[in-house]
Copies of this chain bind each other. A is one copy, B any other.
Amino acid sequence: MSSSILITNTTLFTEPKAPLLHDQWLLCRNNAIHSFGPMTSVLDEAEAVQINGQDKLLMPGLINAHNHCAMTLFRGLADDMELNTWLSDYIFPAEAKHVTPEMVYECSKLAAAEMILSGTTCVADGYFHEEETAQALFDAGMRAVPAQGVIDFPAPGVPDPAKNIAAAEQFLLKWQGREELITPGIFAHSPYTCSPQTLQSAKELAKKYNAPFFIHIAESKQEQQLIMDPQGTSPIRHLASLDLLDRDTILIHCVWLDDEDMEIIKKSGAGVVVCPQSHFKLASGIARTTEMDRAGIPVGLGTDGSASNNSLDLFREMDILAKSQKAKTLEATAMPAHAVLTAATVNNAQILGLPQLGKIAPGYKADLILIDIQQPHLRPFYNKDLLVYSANGADVDTVIINGRIVLQERELLSFDMAKCMEKVRNLAAQI
């Protein structure tokens, strides 16, 4: 770990709406961005680790606002299936049998390798044995918002659902304030797997610890019929009637919203995270992201777990978000490139309650990625739209998280990836 890093001769992408700055240097000191400027006035920082940013673009690390990291084990196990068949015949049985603390640790670490290699520096996660995910992401050198799953069924690590809130509290007690990289949260699975009482208890717990509160909501057209003991006429109104919506609540999916739902969300200040590839693959539909964005609802972006995507590459996710909104609205101006770049950086930072992320500015965290733009698919490079419409995760050359270089020239420095892949291979052989 170095206390100072100087990147020179690079193109700077400071934030989505700002113009690119060419021939720049940038200095990180400890875990923060200290300063940047044109090469004509470069600092003399002989003690800093030097990185030559020639033919590269330096931008804020991408933030993945929804993942189930450990599900890398189930990637490709069952594709092209109707949601209920997929869940009931494949995913739930596989989870009941194969989700152990060791599996969660190793498979989350595999996800971390994939995310770092594709330019993600921070991830929000929800699963069981979440203390293992928190440890794995920390050991991989990532910033993370791991959230312990709460569900009214027997779950891995919490066989008695009556103890789900207590288990979640244990998780918060273990991780809150422990490591700067880790911000623990609570993930109530959904209104169709959690009773109103469970949802309210989970939200109260989150409030008590000032922790982010996540929930899957309005994912499928059928969800309305599935809600346990509904108190509203839509999934969102159900949550509103339980007083669950505020600025610390993060609504995952939101594919099926009516106008009233959007108004309720906007007034509450809750964040929305869409996962367009997962919505496509599970045939959930296409969210009204363009309208939410235009209405001023902060829209964030996540990949969902590898079992329903199947890629954790946020460049790919940004591309599909931008393009699918044009197909849905039949307006080519819908969700332009800068809006999806905003979703994956500034908006995700705000939604997750980590406002010092998502931009290059003095004082912001040194979570940065260098993109190799000297490649045929990124030529000519007229403007940053190409990051959405042509770049992919494999173009990421170097990744810095909290002032530490975790990837350099595509070599992962923070942990032994081959060893992790071998362990996952052994776990997969048992399925």
Contacts and interface: CB of A to CB of B under 8 A. Distances in A.
Interface of A: 72-73, 75-77, 79-83, 86, 110-111, 113-114, 117-118, 221, 277, 279-286, 306, 309-313, 316, 319-320, 322-324, 326-327, 329-334, 336-337, 374-377, 379-383, 385-386, 389-390, 392-395, 417, 421, 424-425, 428, 431
Contact of A425 (B326, B375, B380): B380
A376 B117 contact: yes
Q: Which of A282, A337, A392, A421 has the most CB of B within 10 A?
A: A392
Contacts of A326: 280-283
A332 B382 contact: no
Contacts of A385: 76, 79-80, 310
Contact of A377 (B118, B323, B375): B118
Nearest to A286: B327
A88 B6 CA distance: 45
A126 B241 CA distance: 58
Contacts of A279: 327
B82 A332 contact: yes
A237 B421 CA distance: 55
A86 B331 CA distance: 12
A145 to B, nearest CB: 21
B376 A421 contact: yes
A83 B327 CA distance: 13
4 smallest A-B Cβ distances: which pairs? A394-B394, A280-B323, A380-B428, A80-B336
A393 B221 CA distance: 34
Contacts of A110: 376, 379
Given A379-B72, A389-B79, A394-B394, A374 B421 contact: yes
Given A83-B332, A114-B377, A380-B428, 16 more contacts: A76-B383, A76-B385, A76-B386, A80-B332, A111-B376, A117-B375, A118-B377, A279-B327, A281-B322, A281-B323, A281-B326, A281-B389, A283-B332, A283-B334, A379-B425, A394-B395
Contacts of A286: 327
Count the copies: 2
Contacts of A379: 72, 75, 110, 421, 424-425, 428
20 contacts: A72-B376, A75-B380, A75-B386, A76-B389, A80-B332, A80-B385, A82-B331, A82-B332, A114-B376, A114-B377, A283-B326, A283-B329, A310-B385, A313-B392, A316-B392, A320-B323, A324-B324, A376-B417, A379-B425, A379-B428
Contacts of A334: 283
Contacts of A329: 283
A428 B381 CA distance: 9
A280 B388 CA distance: 14
Given A76-B381, A77-B382, A277 B323 contact: yes
B330 A285 contact: yes
Contacts of A380: 72-73, 75-76, 424-425, 428, 431
B392 A332 contact: no
A389 B283 contact: no
A77 B382 CA distance: 6
A280 to B, nearest CB: 4
Contacts of A394: 392, 394-395
A402 B382 CA distance: 35
A48 B341 CA distance: 49
A331 B80 CA distance: 9
